[in-house]
Amino acid sequence: MAEKRGIMATVTQSGDTASDGRGAAIASEGKQPRTARGQRTLRAILDAAAAEFGEKGFHDGSISGITRRAGVALGSFYTYFDSKDEVFRALVRDMSDQVREHVAPAIRAAPEQIAAERAGLQTFIEFVRSHKEIYRIIDESEFVDPESFRLHYATTADRIAARLKAAAERGEVRADVSEVHAWAIMGMNVFLGLRYGVWGEELTPEAVADTVATMLARGLARD
């Protein structure tokens, strides 16, 4: 199923283009592409790696499987990456970037902070439904590349904490928001994405986001 989404699906759905150069910074050290064609090849390899690892996992996935999916020669892989470990590490960072780039515009467009958190969750679940492989890849990174695993969640929580603090300063949320609130929101979103993005789709992303927004605005205590 992951392969059927196609090599370029991840890019186009996240609002990027194959030649935007985003992948240039995540090739192995000293192997960044210098041309638009090179950037497109690197993009194809990363998207093929997402399909390969998403379907088979890190240990059963292979470089030859990646190049076959990408439609490139084996030598092209080594032009940009030193090993399977290196492309996996790059893929974790790339997928983290894709989530951020997909969700950020919806958050920025929201009129206030509860609406922003609602919009972020809705767009995240929508993203997950067309990129289900992200959960397997991120989960495996805890053991394959613990630094990338921790960085993925730590930077996400930092972004949430920063926008909560800014909202508190604007008087939109309680003044004592903290890192704990940021990690709680992130954890909630991660498991809601798993439940309603990967395991089942019986509720719409809008319905899930509405429920969570009400909970954030009112809490769970009785009125």
Lowest mean pLDDT among 4-18, 87-101, 103-117: 4-18
Amino acid of residue 201: E
From 1.10.357.10, 1.20.1070.10, 1.20.1250.20, 1.10.3720.10, which CATH number describes the 88-218 domain? 1.10.357.10
Between 223 and 40, residue with greater pLDDT = 40
* Residue bearing tokens 């910074």: 25
Domain boundaries, the chain: 3-85, 88-218
Q: pTM for the complete prediction?
A: 0.84
Q: What is the pLDDT of residue 209?
A: 98
Give the pLDDT score at 30.
85
**pLDDT for 10:** 31
Which of 141, 118, 137, 140 has its CA nearest to residue 128? Answer: 137
Q: Mean pLDDT across the stretch 44-72? A: 97
Q: How does pLDDT run across 22-57, given as a tens digit for each residue?
A: 444 588 888 889 899 999 999 999 999 999 999 999
pLDDT band at 223 (very low <50, low <70, confident <90, very high): low
Q: pLDDT digit string (tens) for 112-154?
A: 999 999 999 999 999 999 999 999 999 999 999 999 999 999 9
Q: Is 49 exposed, middle or buried (0-12, 13-18, 19+ CB in 10 A)?
A: buried
Please report the pLDDT score of residue 5 as a whole number.
32
Mean pLDDT of the chain: 89
Lowest-pLDDT range of 26-35, 58-67, 73-82, 195-204: 26-35
Neighbour count for residue 50 (Cβ, 10 Å): 26
pLDDT of 221 > 90? The answer is no
